[in-house]
Amino acid sequence: MNILLEKTKRYEYDTTGKNPRYEERQMPYGTKKEEEKEKTQDSDTLLPPQIPDEVDNNGNSALHLAAMFRGDHPWPIPGAALQMQWEVKWYQYVKQSMPPNFFPIHNKKKESAKQIFTREHQDLVKMGGEWLTSTATSCSVVATLIATVAFATSTAVPGGTKEGSGKPILEQQPAFHIFAISSLIALCFSVTSTVMFLAILTSRRQEKDFAQDLPRKLLLGLTSLFISILSILVTFCASHFFVLRDEFRIAALPVYAVTCLPATFFAVAQLPLYLDLIWATFSKVPQACLDDT
């Protein structure tokens, strides 16, 4: 067990027989030779073979320790949902590091690692689920409004159609093509965003769902929402371009740029969360927390 704890530095193992407790989540920093040696090891058996057979005086194996949660040493990411995501990833990382012949055991309290994980993370699952629900509810309202407007604009033909042929009168103007393409993009991505947020709202939000399913749905929903907001603004600017006379069209360009400022401010405000979500979702193994202050 001490070998595992020395490699990960996530827990402090009490060799006197007391309950093990969490220490800093700090990943190993070995020499160049040690790093080259670790690269040659199979990624599915990252732990030495003797680790699964060792337990502490309370019967806790390495997997039991990975299932425990200590709230005062969180992962270096904000939000309960992302915290829960990395807790699940850490548990799965240790579980997958066990040899294929590893048989799950119970500690002296007759608890399995899975039971400990479920009990220890009840509050975090609840807080993460509430945050996802509030975020998905707010964003789904915006996405639904954009989808409604985008549907109306995508079926409209600015300037009308020619009699007999039914072709748009303004089809030769570049603004017409911008209007048609942007309205279609806004409709597609707003519907996609709405579906993703509804999928989050109807999810059972179990522990395993926080690993990949829910974060990826949230990431796809936010990305689609940003694209749909930008596309609908371009659609409005292109449709308004037909109303202006030729001498006013150039003067209206700064106004169109100012119109995009609210969406820009919103995107900038959500950028830290968006980047954290991308980093946490696509990181295979939870990263080290080097600063506990």
Rounded-to-integer distance, Cα 207 and Cα 120, Å: 11
Q: What is the pTM for the complete model shown? A: 0.73
Q: Give the pLDDT confidence score for residue 148 in this predicted structure.
A: 92
Give the residue from 154, 165, 146 showing the smallest Cα distance to 239: 154
Three-state secondary structure readout of 72-93: CCCCCCCCHHHHHHHHHHHHHH
- CB neighbours of 125 closer than 8 A, spacing ≥ 6? 84, 205, 206, 207, 210
Q: What pLDDT score does 178 carry?
A: 87
> Position 29: which residue type?
Y
How far apart are alpha carbons 254 and 20 in whole angstroms? 63
Q: Provide the residue count of the chain.
A: 293
Average pLDDT over residues 233-252: 74
Looking at the predicted structure, is the pLDDT value of residue 274 above 80?
Answer: yes
Residue type, 97: S
Tens digit of pLDDT for each residue in 171-203?
777 778 888 899 999 999 999 999 999 999 998
Per-residue pLDDT tens over the stretch 38-55: 444 444 445 555 555 566
Q: Is the pLDDT of residue 95 over 70?
A: yes
pLDDT tens-digit series, residues 25-40: 334 444 444 444 444 4
Q: Which residues lie below 8 Å from residue 198, measured CB to CB, with a gap of 6+?
A: 136, 140
